[in-house]
Amino acid sequence: MERVGGDVVVQQERAADTPHLRVRQERGYTVLEFRGEIDIVAATEIGPRLDEATTGHAPRVVIDLSRIEFFDCSGLRLLYRARSRVLDQGGHLHLVCAHPLTLRVLRATGLHRLLPPATTLDAALGQPEATSGSL
């Protein structure tokens, strides 16, 4: 806590990164870097942080899957949830994914059409807003 002009202001500390998620700011976007095996256990850990990043007016979010080793339907639910929340708030969401098996899952579910994956973080951050899944 800190006192400012007689008022007590509670400072919120950013939650520490978790084993399955690293969150950072880059070029005006909140980058959520998923790591390791994204299953139901990881989704339970990631969900609250994802909700935090997709709250507020016009959030700008990138979900980076470049460091994942496994991705199941729990991970798909996280992506659909993030997309829905970002679009409901008038924001933009980009996805980074080059993992062949994960790309196959994205194609099989049709999510690749709703959230076209970029192959690198730089490519995702360089995408025009109109192609960011805000269809």
Record the pTM: 0.83
The distance from CA 71 to its chain's CA centroid, rounded to whole angstroms, is: 14
| Single-letter code of the amino acid located at 85 | R
CATH numbers and ranges of domains, the chain: 15-131 (3.30.750.24)
Which residue matches tokens 């256990």?
41
Alpha carbon distance 102, 107 (integer Å): 9
Residue pLDDT tens, the chain, 135 long = 444 455 444 333 355 689 999 999 999 999 999 999 999 999 999 999 999 999 999 999 999 999 999 999 999 999 999 999 999 999 999 999 999 999 999 999 999 999 999 999 999 999 876 445 544
Q: How many CB atoms lie within 10 A of CB 98?
A: 13
